[in-house]
Structure 1
Amino acid sequence: MRQPVLMDEKQQEAARKELPPGKLLGPAGVALAALGGVMLTAMMGLTVCDVIGRYLFNSPIKGAAELTEVLLCATIFLGLGAVSLKEDHVTVDLVTDKMPSFIQPYRLALAGLFSGGVLLVVSWRLWIYAAQIGGYGGSTTNLAIPIAPLGYFCAICAALGGLITAFLPLKRLVARHTV
Structure 2
Amino acid sequence: MTDTAETPRQEAQNLASPDHHLTPSGIILGGIGGLFLVAMMGLTVCDVVGRYVFNAPIKGAGELTEILLCAVIFLGLGAVSLAENHVTVDLLTDKFPDAVQPFRQALTGLLSGVILVVVAWRIWIYAGQIGGYGGSTTSLSIPIAPLGYFCAICALIGGLITAFLPLKRLYLQLSHKGQN
TM-score of the alignment, normalized to the shorter chain, above 0.5 = yes
In structure 2, the residue matched to 1:155 is: 152
Candidates 166, 169, 174, aligned match of 1:169:
166
Q: Tell me the number of residue pairs that the alignment of Structure 1 and Structure 2 aligns.
A: 170
Partners in 1 of 2:139 and 2:23 — Cα distance?
A: 39
Partner Cα distance (1:109, 1:177) in 2: 12
User: Aligned partners of 1:71 and 1:56: how far apart in 2?
Assistant: 25
Could you tell me which residue of structure 1 aligns to residue 75 of structure 2?
A: 78
Give a deviation string over 1:90-113, Cα, whole Å, max 9, x none: 000000011111000000000000
Give the alignment partner of residue 6 of structure 1, picking from 8, 11, 26.
Answer: 11
Query: Pick from 52, 59, 62: which aligns with 1:65?
Result: 62
Per-residue CA shift, 1:84-134, capped at 9, x if unaligned?
A: 000000000000011111000000000000000000000000000000000
Q: Which has the higher contact order (CA 8 A, sep 6+)?
A: 2
Matches within 5 A, 1:11-90: 12=17, 16=19, 24-90=21-87
Q: Please give the TM-score of this superposition, normalised by the length of structure 1.
A: 0.90
Alpha-carbon contact 2:110-2:163 (below 8 Å) kept:
yes
The runs of at least 4 consecutive aligned structure 1 residues that moved more than 3 Å come to 2-5
CA contact 2:43–2:61 (8 Å) conserved in 1: yes
TM-score by length of 2: 0.90
Q: CA deviation at 1:6?
A: 2.3
The letter of the residue matching 2:142 is I
Structure 2 residue identity aligned to 1:164: I
Secondary structure at 1:142 match in 2? coil
Query: What residue identity is the alignment partner of 1:105?
Result: P
Q: What stretches of structure 1 of length at least 5 have no aligned partner?
A: 18-23
Say if 2:23 and 2:83, in contact at 8 Å, map to a contact too. Answer: no
1:12–1:106 CA distance, 2 compared to 1 (3 A) = closer
Q: CA RMSD in A?
A: 1.9
How much identity, in percent, do the aligned residues show?
67
Question: Rg larger in 1 or in 2?
Answer: 2
Shift of 1:8: 2.5
Residue type of the alignment partner of 1:78: L
CA distance in 1, matches of 2:11, 2:103: 15
- Aligned counterparts, 1:76-155, within 5 A: 76-155=73-152
Output the CA distance in 2 between the equivalents of 1:145 and 1:78.
20
